[in-house]
Amino acid sequence: MPRFGRSFLAHWWLDPEITYLNHGTVGATPRVVLDAQHAWQRRIEAQPARFLFRELMRLTADAPGAPGAPRPLLRQAADAVADFVGARGDDLVFVDNASTGINAVLRSIALQPGDEILVLDQAYGAVVNAARFVARKAGATVVTVATPWPADEATPAATVAALERALTPRTRLAILDHISSQTALILPVAEMAARCRAHGVPVLIDAAHAPGAIALDVASLGADWVVGNLHKWAFAPRACGFLWVAPAQRASLHPPVISWGLDLGLAQEFDWTGTRDPSPMLAAPDGLAFMRDVLGLEAMRDWNHGLVWRMAHTLAARWGRRFDTPESLVGCMASVPLPARIAALGEAAAPALKDWLLHERRIEAQVLAIRGEAWVRLAAQVYNDEADYERLADAMDQWPA
Contact indicator for 5, 384 with CB cutoff of 8 Å: yes
What is the Cα–Cα distance from 98 to 230, expressed in whole angstroms?
9
Length, in residues, of the chain: 401
Partner residues linked to 35 by β-bridges:
none
Q: Which residues of 67-196 form beta strands (DSSP E)?
A: 92-95, 116-120, 141-145, 171-177
DSSP label of 55: I
Which of 111, 142, 208, 226: binder of ligand PLP (CB under 6 A)?
A: 208
DSSP label of 143: E
* Residue (268 or 381) nearer to ligand PLP, CB: 381
Considering only CA atoms, give the Rg of the chain.
22
Asked if 279 touches ligand PLP (CB under 6 A), the answer is: no
Asked if 97 touches ligand PLP (CB under 6 A), the answer is: yes
Using the rule CB under 6 A, give the single segment among 65-73, 96-104, 348-356, 387-395 that binds ligand PLP.
96-104
Asked if 99 touches ligand PLP (CB under 6 A), the answer is: yes
Q: How far is CA 179 from CA 98, 214, 306, in A?
A: 13, 9, 17
Helix (H, G, I), strand (E, B) or coil at 280: helix
Which of 127, 333, 363, 376: binder of ligand PLP (CB under 6 A)?
A: 127
Using the rule CB under 6 A, give the single segment among 12-20, 74-82, 120-128, 390-398 that binds ligand PLP.
120-128
Q: How far is CA 25 from CA 233, 317, 318, 401, in A?
A: 10, 25, 25, 25
Min CB(131)–ligand PLP separation in Å: 12
- The size of the interface with ligand PLP (CB under 6 A), counted in residues, is 12
Using the rule CB under 6 A, give the single segment among 44-52, 94-102, 130-138, 305-313 that binds ligand PLP.
94-102
Using the rule CB under 6 A, give the single segment among 119-127, 256-264, 269-277, 385-393 that binds ligand PLP.
119-127
At 346, phi and psi to the nearest 5? 60, -145
Asked if 203 touches ligand PLP (CB under 6 A), the answer is: no
Using the rule CB under 6 A, give the single segment among 6-14, 83-91, 206-214, 336-344 that binds ligand PLP.
206-214
At 337, phi and psi to the nearest 5? -70, 135
Which of 98, 105, 174, 214: binder of ligand PLP (CB under 6 A)?
A: 98
Asked if 22 touches ligand PLP (CB under 6 A), the answer is: no
Asked if 209 touches ligand PLP (CB under 6 A), the answer is: yes
Min CB(226)–ligand PLP separation in Å: 12
Asked if 91 touches ligand PLP (CB under 6 A), the answer is: no
* Residue (123 or 349) nearer to ligand PLP, CB: 123
Which of 91, 206, 269, 388: binder of ligand PLP (CB under 6 A)?
A: 206
Phi-psi region of 346 (alpha: psi -120 to 50; beta: other; left: phi over 0): left
Partner residues linked to 395 by β-bridges:
none
- H-run or E-run covering 19: strand 19-20
* Residue (135 or 395) nearer to ligand PLP, CB: 135
Min CB(390)–ligand PLP separation in Å: 26
Let me know the angle formed at the C-alpha of 222 by 334 and 154, rounded to the nearest 5 degrees: 35
Min CB(195)–ligand PLP separation in Å: 20
Which of 171, 181, 249, 273: binder of ligand PLP (CB under 6 A)?
A: 181
Using the rule CB under 6 A, give the single segment among 35-43, 59-67, 123-131, 324-332 that binds ligand PLP.
123-131
DSSP label of 150: S
Query: Nearest Cα to 175, choosing from 130, 117, 228, 230?
Result: 117
Q: How far is CA 384 from CA 4, 204, 244, 387, in A?
A: 8, 33, 31, 8
| Share of the chain residues as helix, strand and coil, in percent rounded to the nearest 5 | 45, 15, 40
Which of 91, 115, 177, 364: binder of ligand PLP (CB under 6 A)?
A: 177
Q: Residue 397 carries which side chain, given as an amino acid letter? A: D
Min CB(179)–ligand PLP separation in Å: 7
Asked if 119 touches ligand PLP (CB under 6 A), the answer is: no
Min CB(349)–ligand PLP separation in Å: 20
Binding site residues, ligand PLP, CB under 6 A: 97-99, 124, 126-127, 177, 181, 206, 208-209, 229
